[in-house]
Structures are given as structure tokens and as C-alpha cells.
């Protein structure tokens, strides 16, 4: 009998993959990989490894989830070592739980290999700590896109009042709606917001604003998916860090990204 590995590839920078995840890639007979996986990682696969693209975009799925589940079951049943390679962490908005359930229901062995998630890594590369004693002691990770479009089933009131920092995945298309919901449920309209495009990759760039202004900033700068949205006072730390960086005359303490702070 084969075995499946549901593997987190990290947020984009290929050097952020874990040692265990890299071992899985190197021993795989089959790799099913997602759109946000850095393709440089696929070079680590065996020469005869079968590599299958299963990418999804917000409005277009190359392969339906049910088909991906079936392929996992099919290849593992054939006695192969199968790696399901997913961007970030497979259990953070990655449908890894659904894939694990499909394998378990068919009595097939599997293992989950966690990965570094973009909600922590992208802000870190932009100089924004997701928690900080002076700026925020709690954070939540939230999806900005649901199966029906706008994330209408989120408890925005609790998020607006009870959490210091909010990391929002897949939210660019619904950014105006998200900001409106947070303001109407208790967040000050001047709450800082950062949007980090292509987090941890060489193309990373960050724009900042407030709940009331970030929509127009993102539109003006043409920011697109994939992008992380960070809401909270921790965003202010970025300016402090960049200021200290300039004083120290050390250019790349945070990243070499194009600084677009507003």
C-alpha cells in the first residue's frame, strides 16, 4: 500500500519550506500541486515523478476538489508515494482537511506536514509582527472569500471588538465589503491596514492605509491576488522599523521590497 503526504509548501519563498516537506517532495512518485506553490520546489522531485497541476483561482478551478480527492485515493491505492503540495499550510484555508478525510474514508495511510502560513510570513517580510506587546496581543485568521462570494457568515462584530489584529486571506475582491463590515461593527475607520501582494516572493510589495482609505489605495496601485490583508495597530510598527532601518543605513533589514507606505 502506498502513502499520501498532505504537505505545506510555505508562502512563496522556496527557502521557507520545511526540511520534512522537502524530503517528501524528493521521495514522491506523484505530486499534485497548487497554483501558489513556488515551482522551483518541483525541481527537487525525482526525474520519473509524475507532476500534476491542480491550481485554483478565485473565479476558475483547473480541477474540482472532488477530482483531486479521487486522484489522491487512486494513486495511493496503487501503492505510490503521493504528495499533495499546497501553498502555505494545508490546514489553513487549504482544504487539507477535506483531502485527509477522503483518504481516511478509504482506509489509506496519510500524513500531514504543516507549512508556514502566509498570514504570519507575509506580514513578517513586510516588517509587521502579527503580535507585539505594545501594538496587539491577539490575532485572528479569516477568509475574505467564501463559496458564495462575500464572507457573509463571518462574525464581524466579534472580530471588530475582541481581536487586536486580523489577517485576512483571499480578500482583495471583497476588500470594500470587509472594511465596511469592520467599521460598522466597531472598528475605528482610522485603524491601520496593510495589503501585502506576492508575500515573501521577490515581487512582494506592501501598501498601507486605513479602513476608510485602503480600498482606494489598492485600486490606485493596482494590487492583485495573491495578497494578504492585515488590519490592526501592528501595521504602525512597519513605519517604526523602516525609520530605524534608515537611521542605521542598513537597506535590507526587512525586505528589498518596493516601499509604498502611505
Catalytic residue (choose from 13, 29, 34, 89): 34
Catalytic residue (choose from 29, 170, 187, 228): 170
Query: Rounded CA gap, 85 and 88, in Å?
Result: 9
Phi, psi of 34 (to 5 degrees): -95, 170
Residue 34 appears among annotated catalytic residues: yes
Residue 155 appears among annotated catalytic residues: no
Q: How many helices (H) and strands (E) does the chain have?
A: 8, 13
Residue 170 appears among annotated catalytic residues: yes
DSSP string, 110-162: EEEE----HHHHHHHHTT--S-BTTTBS-EEEEES-BTTBS-TTS-HHHHHHH
Catalytic residue (choose from 3, 20, 23, 56): 56
Grid cell listed for 127 = 516588517
- H or E element that contains 261: none
Strand, helix or coil for residue 249: coil
CB 73 within 8 A of CB 106: yes
CB 196 within 8 A of CB 123: yes
CB 115 within 8 A of CB 89: yes
Grid cell listed for 48 = 520519473
**Known catalytic residues?**
34, 56, 170
Amino acid at each position: 500500500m502506498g502513502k499520501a503526504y498532505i504537505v505545506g509548501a510555505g508562502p512563496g519563498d522556496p527557502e521557507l519550506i520545511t526540511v520534512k516537506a522537502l524530503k517528501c517532495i524528493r521521495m514522491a512518485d506523484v505530486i499534485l500541486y497548487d497554483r501558489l506553490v513556488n515551482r522551483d520546489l518541483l525541481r527537487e522531485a525525482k526525474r520519473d515523478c509524475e507532476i500534476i497541476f491542480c491550481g485554483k483561482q478565485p473565479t476558475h478551478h483547473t480541477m474540482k476538489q472532488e477530482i483531486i480527492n479521487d486522484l489522491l485515493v487512486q494513486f495511493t491505492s496503487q501503492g505510490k508515494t503521493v504528495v499533495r503540495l499546497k501553498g502555505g499550510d494545508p490546514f489553513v484555508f487549504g482544504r487539507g482537511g477535506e483531502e485527509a478525510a477522503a483518504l481516511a474514508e478509504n482506509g489509506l495511510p496519510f500524513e500531514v506536514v504543516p507549512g508556514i502560513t502566509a498570514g504570519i510570513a507575509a506580514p513578517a517580510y513586510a516588517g509587521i509582527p502579527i503580535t507585539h506587546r505594545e501594538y496587539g496581543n491577539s490575532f485572528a485568521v479569516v477568509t475574505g472569500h467564501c463559496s458564495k462570494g462575500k464572507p457573509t457568515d463571518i462574525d464581524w462584530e466579534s472580530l471588530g471588538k475582541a481581536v487586536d489584529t486580523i489577517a485576512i486571506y483571499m480578500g482583495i475582491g471583497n476588500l470594500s465589503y470587509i472594511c465596511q463590515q469592520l467599521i460598522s461593527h466597531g472598528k475605528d475607520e482610522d485603524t491601520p491596514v496593510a495589503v501585502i501582494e506576492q508575500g515573501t516572493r521577490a515581487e512582494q510589495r506592501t501598501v498601507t492605509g486605513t479602513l476608510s482609505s485602503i480600498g482606494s489605495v489598492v485600486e490606485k496601485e493596482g494590487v492583485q491576488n495573491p495578497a494578504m490583508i492585515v488590519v490592526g495597530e501592528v501595521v504602525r510598527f512597519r513605519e517604526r522599523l523602516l525609520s530605524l532601518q534608515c537611521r542605521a543605513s542598513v537597506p535590507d533589514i526587512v525586505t528589498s521590497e518596493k516601499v509604498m507606505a502611505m
